[in-house]
Amino acid sequence: MSCLVRYYKMSNITSQPATSYGVQNKPRRVLPYFIQSVNLKYVKLGYHYLITHLLTLCLVPLVAITLIQASQMNYSDINNLYLRLKYNLFSIIIFSTVLVLGSTIYIMTRPRSVYLVDYACYRPPDHLQVKFDRFMEHSRLTGDFDESSLEFQRKILERAGLGEETYVPEAMHHIPPTPSMEAARREAEEVMFGALDNLFKITKIKPKDIGILVVNCSLFNPTPSLSAMIVNKYKLRRNIRSFNLGGMGCSAGVIALDLARDMLQVHRNSYAVVVSTENITQNWYFGNKKSMLIPNCLFRVGGAAVLLSNILSDRWRAKYKLVHIVRTHKGADDKAFQCVYQEQDDNGKTGVSLSKDLMAIAGGALRTNITTMGPLVLPISEQLLFFATLVTRKLFDSKIKPYIPDFKLAFDHFCIHAGGRAVIDELEKNLQLLPLHVEASRMTLHRFGNTSSSSIWYELAYTEAKGRMRKGNRVWQIAFGSGFKCNSAVWKALRNVKPSANSPWEDCIHKYPVQIAA
């Protein structure tokens, strides 16, 4: 229960304005402190510029000296140089051969670029929306929850950051609910086929052109598989490489991207489709164990389909280029392995239990992930500061506060998995982000709820709908999942990206951002 108490406390934190009494008592300290902070800001900014352009600054004098020396050469010096080269033809041929051979080997063996041509997020029909009072009324009428559980769910709904326009599957709108295999299949078909129909429409790609298919859904794994359902629906070709990932939690979307990327390194001139979703129909919890009731309040219907390509000509129409994928798995630790755990309660009712150690484990997984990610994306100035602090802590004083790299220097946009308000708050604090950086995550949680592995795509669609994605911008998608895993994907915008047709935010982006109650 301590996890739940901490969750409530984090949801109720509000900043207290400074009182006039405090300002009047210490008027002389305000201006000097302000000047000091401004000076430090510009000192750090100057340091970053200096280190970033250090190589250029060092090369400028060398180039200048070379040009001066070249300008002082007379005709005889140039003629002597020509004669030396003329009588060393064998050396020139050897050098040219090595250069051409080396260039050929490099071009043939270097990793192929992977492009994100476009993607589509599923927008459920409006009749599947569930307001808070309707959610609570249905929970009460099912007769499965006692008063304590009902009150607990009400508090979670009010404080979790969700709005009243999120969606639950058709089976959950019935009284009593009708969770069945048929209803679960129907939910999966509506979500996956809805996203794929839109994807094929906006990209004008024929289903027969798809060579690789990766589907991830954690809790619903029927036979035939979800990937087979897609192959059957769209009559994909017989030699398609299809994969179905199950039980990998909310971070499975990045895992699916990683698998698709690896396949695109092997198969030339191919298209890969990644479908990320979750299925709620058969995974609603009808018991009274508090740690298993939270997913009922957070998870909602959603899904996304992503088209990837390694065809060079697709670069000119693609939205993004995949830069890095970094995966962290903490499953070797027992606490991490069991912190998100599907099980039965004492009455035999199945649900997903969230451990009291979840936030601490997520923080540890995040630290491991960004330790690997940092050297790949951070400017050298930040890496030097981090390294210097680390050495100082090891050799001199371990009480020195560790330096937290400024990832705002590496990324322009952040797509943090909308797992819940506490998750977003924690990352905002730990990464020292601004409210603008987590706006897409908060608004996605408010409008669509926790759509599991597809939430990072709704967030990217939000950023595009706001017109904020410019050419060269870098995007960090980061997600957490059972196991316990923390996975990251980094994209680079290849152009000024406009929202695709039928964006999930198409008719409501003008209302956002909205004020979320504390």
C-alpha triplet 101, 103, 106: angle, nearest 5°:
110
Q: Residue 459 corresponds to which tokens in the numbers above?
A: 């967030």
Q: Residue 361 corresponds to which tokens in the numbers above?
A: 């484990």
Give the closest residue to 359 by CA, choosing from 71, 49, 10.
10
Q: Nearest 10 degrees: CA dihedral of 330, 334, 337, 341?
A: -160
For 402, phi and psi rounded to 5 degrees?
-60, 145
Q: How far is residue 184's CA from residue 282's CA, in Å, rounded to a whole number?
A: 6
Among all chains, which residue has been given the structure tokens 């759509």?
A: 451
Give the closest residue to 274 by CA, choosing from 252, 303, 251, 306.
306
Inter-CA distances, 7 with 14, 97, 288, 426, 430, Å: 14, 65, 18, 11, 16
Q: How far is residue 248's CA from residue 395's CA, in Å, rounded to a whole number?
A: 40
| Residues with catalytic function | 250, 329, 413, 417, 446, 450
Q: In Å, how far from its chain's centre is CA 358?
A: 19
Q: How far is residue 375's CA from residue 356's CA, in Å, rounded to a whole number?
A: 32
Q: How far is residue 39's CA from residue 22's CA, in Å, rounded to a whole number?
A: 24
Handedness of CA 414, 415, 417, 418 (dihedral sign): positive
3-state percent helix, strand, coil for the chain, nearest multiple of 5 = 55, 15, 30
